Amino acid sequence: IKIYSVAGRLIRNLEVKNQSDNFIKVDWDGRDQDGNQIANGAYLYKLIVKSTDGAFNKSVLGKLAIVR
C-alpha cells in the first residue's frame, strides 16, 4: 500500500510479503516515512496485490481522510 499526498508526494510505503490468507489486515500508525505524524486531511492510496508466482497482479486507487 502506497499513501500519497493529494499533490502526489509519497507519504508512506507499507509492504506485506508472503501472506496466504484471503484477508490481510495492514496496520498504519498515521506516520510518514520519516516517522512524523501526518496532518489531518485528504490523502490518496494505491493498493498493489501480486501473487508470489507473478500470475496475478492488480492495483486499486482510492482516497482516505485523516481526522483526529
Q: What's the rounded mean pLDDT across residues 28-43?
A: 97
pLDDT recorded at residue 61: 97
Write down the domain spans for the chain.
Answer: 2-66
> pTM of the prediction?
0.82
Distance CA 67, CA 58 (A): 29
Q: What integer pLDDT is reported at residue 41 of this predicted model?
A: 98
Distances (CA, A) of 36 to 15, 30, 63, 64: 18, 8, 20, 18
pLDDT band at residue 22 under the 50/70/90 scheme: confident
